[in-house]
Structure 1
């Protein structure tokens, strides 16, 4: 096709070859590299997202447990599994710990509330439904969810919880589903839930009964990038906006990302962000911006998590079967992008003769998308030999 942009830069970000590098185009999921960079430079990437329980003892002697989340959408429905990112924290483990704390107080019957208030009301980008067939690619960001909200009603769930290569229908009420699962796990541990789960608020100024923690944010980011998880990308945008005290909406998510890029000296000319993932129609970015993000990724200590989390062709992620076969495995770190009328790729490569290059390519409205993908693969594969 004719609507494509390409740029190749040395390790310092100097563009050495380009075509229409400043023209903004629809980027698809390469937009996630902007969100990842902004989050990695704003958040404590060694921190975790905790899911907690609290106890309210009413004047009528009723006992209420409140389940509260901070954004861990990769909870498991069973025990915590520290060997994986998805399911690192488990509702079964949280229920067991909560039940032990309740029984120490002589409590065996409770009402159950869940507090999903942290992210406000605006959680879904306007227009995302156009690229979200059957709710398989995005669900509203939530303070808690099991397995990213995947329902597995029409597909077989993989044995490896970190395998996100399939796209089952996503729950449209992930926090309620998580609370319902938690109620079942409480029952498994000898606590009867007499009513609920019902939406409510956690008490302020009191200590938690129990808690479980997600994998560190740098690992959650790697999961998001390598599996191109649209909801988790928006979640990172929201966490960035809240950390910057920018607001609590889709608009402030995207603005927080754009503002962070500008503050880091990245050229954001022509940047339009309809969301933080690239799924929603309306986003535009130049390959110059993508290249400059990659250059910052390569700079020591700036956004390490955003660089380390990229897909590695030949090994892991959405680009596992892209670009390379054999000796160049492991030399590339990239982010893919794909929509009906878009194919894109951005990343960096370790050169066989030493040094690094960064590159970005966006093709809009290709005459033949598969041919465009193959052409990008051939181009990218040659970079390691330069």
Structure 2
């Protein structure tokens, strides 16, 4: 291995993230995991993987800028590396870092709460960072609130939304102006049915208002925005599914909006402001202080990976995934592995409808590879797991930047690398 591809291990002090009680291990507990073994003799099966990868990364469809690594999960032996410490634009593979921090700070059983409070003739819908809120949930909130109003002899009310939990949304560093609102909506703590609109809070308030009308309550005037008062009385609330369930879905379908919401809620959970900057700071603290993951060459600017200024080495992504296989960490982080798309499964981003694992070289790996995808213009990444021919789990991460080949062609080549690790493409 060249020096540039060697693992740079950071052992940070095991101080907890401010404002939280973390269940994750200290960097010292993680020392064995982060100290990958380089330069050791490979057994014949692993040597075959390494030799084949050395040949196949020269595929012109992958361009000339690639960071990649393969690790044996049980022994932490590095089987193969190619500029593994070189930081490249990882696209949606960034979500792996976001998920790790969210699960560590908030806990896998954490749930998000959306509330309705009443005061001064006004019902206020209070956003609590639940990106999975549905119109059916708002319907239930409206029915409970309407029943309470009617029992108090009230038949009319004003409606307000309170989305003060997050600061005024701004685009992250490296976001393109045309991202809004289809690729990602301005980050607010209140949204319904995942609507891709510029003001998701006001949109949710309008849906809630209509549901109140359907329940026989007259809504006076338009929906307004404002903070709920200290004397407002709680009248209804909805709690989300557990964070582990939300993380699984986010990774499977690569939901950028959920990732951005989780980044902000993680910042709040750590006692910081709900901003891009503070969310990223918490991610970095969790990775380095709780798990001993090196942050050398690590640059992150949002939770989803849409930022074109984010740079993460393949080695770092592989190290993050490797944590999920450790019995000490799996109670906290197992939903990351569970949420990875499976090759050939259209429930995620590696299915036939996405044109993945459907070539003669890679289709043999259908059902055998689970990996997080990532695609931006000029950047394609694939990081995950596969059980190789020796029966041992391998962790891999491949990131390419700047290929001039068609996106589908580069993805096909990347799928072939994963099939090589599996060993079915011998």
What is the TM-score normalised by the length of structure 2? 0.78
Distance change (3 Å), C-alpha of 1:356 and 1:233: same
Instruction: Point out where structure 1 has 5 or more consecutive residues left out of the alignment.
Output: 80-89, 150-169
Number of matched pairs: 349
Query: How much is the aligned-residue C-alpha RMSD, in angstroms?
Result: 1.9
1:206-225 pair list within 5 angstroms: 207-225=233-251
Distance between the aligned counterparts of 1:294 and 1:131, measured in 2? Answer: 31
Greater Cα offset, 103-112 or 330-339: 330-339
Q: Normalized per residue, which structure has more helix?
A: 2
Could you tell me how far 1:140 is from its partner in structure 2?
1.5
2:65 maps to 1:7? no
The correspondence for 1:296, drawn from 315, 320, 323, is 323
SS in 2 for 1:73: coil
The correspondence for 2:103, drawn from 28, 40, 49, is 40
Instruction: Point out where structure 2 has 5 or more consecutive residues left out of the alignment.
Output: 1-62
2:127 maps to 1:69? yes
Give the structure 1 partner of residue 423 of structure 2: 385
1:183-194 pair list within 5 angstroms: 183-194=209-220
Could you tell me how far 1:122 is from its partner in structure 2?
4.2
Give the structure 2 partner of residue 348 of structure 1: 385
SS in 2 for 1:280: coil
String of CA shifts for 1:236-268, please: whole Å, max 9, x gaps: 111111111132211111111111111110011
Q: Is the 8 A contact 1:131 1:280 kept in 2?
A: no
The correspondence for 2:269, drawn from 232, 243, 250, is 243
What is the TM-score normalised by the length of structure 1? 0.85
Greater Cα offset, 252-261 or 343-352: 343-352
Distance between the aligned counterparts of 1:320 and 1:260, measured in 2? Answer: 32
Give the structure 2 partner of residue 156 of structure 1: none
Distance change (3 Å), C-alpha of 1:363 and 1:243: same
Give the structure 1 partner of residue 150 of structure 2: 103
- The structure that has the greater radius of gyration is 2
Distance between the aligned counterparts of 1:329 and 1:101, measured in 2? Answer: 53
Greater Cα offset, 303-312 or 185-194: 303-312
Q: Is the 8 A contact 1:69 1:143 kept in 2?
A: yes
Distance between the aligned counterparts of 1:270 and 1:238, measured in 2? Answer: 23
Distance change (3 Å), C-alpha of 1:110 and 1:205: closer
String of CA shifts for 1:288-338, please: whole Å, max 9, x gaps: 101100111222224112221111222221112333787754432211011
Greater Cα offset, 119-128 or 247-256: 119-128
